Amino acid sequence: MERNLIFAWILILSSATVQTCCHGYYSDSVPYVPSPKKVTHLHFFLHDTLTGENPSAVLVARPNITIFPDNAFMPFGTVLAVDDPLTVGPDITSEVIGNAQGLSVLASQHALSLVVYLDFGFTRGEFNGSSFSVFSRNTITVANRELTVVGGRGKFRLAKGFAELKTYSRSEGGNAVVEYNVTLFHH
């Protein structure tokens, strides 16, 4: 009986300690209230220039190997730093509305496929100061492709969505103009 009484006191004290310890000290859970999401559609052109006096994508690292994917001018494992202008139209002289900054890695041994991390930052217009981020595979030899939007800031805070890409033009040396149609779901 004495044992049971001691055991009961231990349970009471430990229960009081748990309630005191864990209630209100760190946080209280609040009910989830879904907020309405906005949908934004964007259309612009990205200019990726690897050659000339003022390239927008530059070689950061090139492996000491000779594995070249089909029709590639760079070997598997090549890393590029990117600061590509974004324009309203396909011509480089059209209005610049921002830039895409980040990294591209040639990530396939057999096809010309990049894994890209890019932050699309807008410097003009309604979305000035806002950006969305892409982290996805970009098989650049495929005519129509899709990239995943993984986040955003400013007016695109907590963005999710997708970017549909189409190569508008390509020239020697890997220079390209890419048309982007982006759908963002954000707060």
Q: Does 70 or 46 have the greater pLDDT score?
A: 46
Give phi and psi for 13, each to the nearest 5.
Answer: -65, -40
Closest CA to 148 of 116, 187, 100: 116
Q: Does residue 22 surpass a pLDDT of 60? A: no
Min mean pLDDT across 11-15, 36-40, 113-117 is at 11-15
d(C-alpha 120, C-alpha 130), whole Å: 8
Q: Does 32 or 151 have the greater pLDDT score?
A: 151
Q: Does 8 or 32 have the greater pLDDT score?
A: 32
* pLDDT score, position 20: 46
Region for 129 from its dihedrals, namely left if φ exceeds 0, alpha if ψ lies in -120 to 50, beta otherwise: left
Q: Does residue 133 surpass a pLDDT of 60? A: yes
Exposed e or buried b per residue across 5-25, where buried means at least 16 C-beta atoms within 10 angstroms of its C-beta? eeeeeeeeeeeeeeeeeeeee
Judge contact between 77 and 50, C-beta under 8 A: no
Domains of the chain (ranges; CATH) run 37-186 (2.40.480.10)
pLDDT in tens, 49-62: 999 999 999 999 98
Taking the C-alpha atoms of 111, 180, 41 and 104 in order, what is their torsion angle to the nearest 10 degrees?
60
Only one residue has tokens 């396939």, namely 108
